[in-house]
Structure 1
Amino acid sequence: MATSTISTQIQLVNRPVGWPTHADFRTVTVDLPELAAGQIRVANEFISVDPYMRGRMNDAKSYVPPFVLGETMGGGAVGRVVASADDAFAVGDVVTHGYGWRDLVQEDSAGFRVVPELPGISLSAYLGVLGMTALTAYVGLLEIAKLKEGDTVFVSGAAGAVGSMVGQIARLKGAKRVIGSAGSAEKVALLTSKYGFDAAFNYKDGAIKDQLAAAAPEGIDVYFDNVGGEHLEAALASFNDGGRAALCGAISLYNSTDTPVGPTNMMNIVTRGLTLTGFTLGNYWNHLPAFTAEMTAWLTAGQIVFDETVVDGVDNTIDAFLGLMRGENTGKMVVRTGELVPAL
């Protein structure tokens, strides 16, 4: 079991304008003190990089406070307890937490959650298919968009961590047709060959509105939006009466320095009786038990598949995040922080 007390951490030092760069971050090493009562020390095995983090780099009011300059980047992570001053946490326990971009973390135990190890499944799954990513898909599709059996579903950014889960959950819950967009021919092929989408298209190949109309000639009932912009306008054009959208993200706009232009066909919301609902996961944690039960069953039965893009080394976390912003990931992007800590 690891005994080091030196923690390598990535901190935000500038508010990015447009695309973030390495100059907006710094890497520091911290010598952790002796454990205080009620604290635990955890060697992270995987840390998460996610699109929402770009928004938190801005000093703007949002659903969560912005990252503080000069402090270590927060975010999801999973690792093993290597030292404990709380009897509820044993050395070797696997825990998830939100302390983010560091290889070794020491905090009050209240900030950690013990999770079970599943045979043959990497602990990184707790950052994706068994974690916040897939829970976002589950809540957005079922609670926000209120998927009904027989619906036609369109997912933008469908080869990403959230999108790939949305499509598979829709199929398992009885959608009639599931359509996805992605940014390369390889990702488009993956959607139909591995994730069970009925149709998919490359949004770079032509007008999204036209490609969606061709893929959904009978229209769509549900839209799960990860991208915004032209994708949202295309969905508004294809909606059937009474359609519902779960607005989860707008990655196409996150690094733009121009004033965004909204869809030109917003009147469709009125004439077709559409419902567009934005959401953030923090208001829906009450769905975690139901999600955990269903997703664990689907995963262990082989009914859900997932991909990860793994970047090695905590020092490469910034590169992983920038790669995520450029769409270089298939499925969940995670950073493997170093040598994995063996189970006891």
Structure 2
Amino acid sequence: MNIFEKFIKDPSGVSSIIGEVLVTGIVVIALGSLFVIMTSADKPVDSTHMSAEEWIDAPSDVISLRHAGGKPINTENLKINVQINGTNYVYSSSNISGNLGGKGVWELADVIQINTSEEWDVGIADEENVDVKLIDTSSKEVLPKYRIGFSPELPSSIDFEIIDDTVVPKEDFISSFTVLGAAISMGSYDMMVTSRLKVGSETFDPWGDYALPVTSNVNDGSTHSWDLPATYQAGTSVTISGKSWQHKAPPKNKPKLNYNLDASWEGYMEVNSTDNSDNLIVLRNGDSVPTIQGMDKQPDIADFVEDYVENGKIVLEDNEAIFLFELGTTDLHNLAADFQDLVVLMSMEPVQSS
């Protein structure tokens, strides 16, 4: 006797079974609908982490926007909407790039200045009748900014101290760092060099993990730049560390190590500007350039800082300092001490106190 015949002869359990089947079907359909709704919904776009300052000079009809911290923004993904006396105007990505001298990114301390009378033939009579929005066109997000009033007289430089090789700005600041170069070798091979920054209590590895010599090497003949992601208060200390790395010795009776791997290197020497080490020299405007020759035909210090030298003196802006690291020897009277194993330029810009 098949199942259908059993149901005909004994229908008492049929209704409960059919009910369970119906309930199960409804649940499956409901879950399927929910899945479709959830997967078809637009996913939120990651917020752009940056901030900008805005000020307006009504007499000269100039709107100024300054990148005050966070990530650089591609100019091709940026436009500026300006409303003046109820009328909307658009400053395009190509306008922004041209305003920045053809740069493809708007980054820390860059200022965009829009002269509204020249651009749209409209003047600014009152700051309150002007509304400016920064739009990230890739995410359609309005970027954060804060107005700091009419034409602030921000100083062009920033006062700072160098205390035991630690830089301490005396004003609120934003900062950028550039590895101008590195040169250190051992025998037949170039050693690896990594660098780390500490600002107040925060630690940054801007050019890769400090503990990974191959992945994060800056001894590669290139310059490397990085901007702090935020503004910092006056009195916040800034220190820089450098570390050199050498080949690990291959185990006896084992194949040679692969020196393209981080694990095949070991730390050789580390110098930190918090230690007031003799292996670090910090230069600012007007200091004499150390007349030390590079070891084994490596470039001299003067070659790394040649863009900042005049008549044997360092020529820097008042907001800049250069760090010279010796990462090969502690015998500083040895010819091997050439202080260009890592050369880093630090630049600071003042910001409006909030």
TM-score w.r.t. structure 2 length? 0.25
Work out which structure has the larger RCO, using CA pairs closer than 8 Å and 6 or more positions apart in sequence: 1
- TM (norm. structure 1) is 0.26
More strand as a share of residues: 2
- Radius of gyration: which is bigger? 2
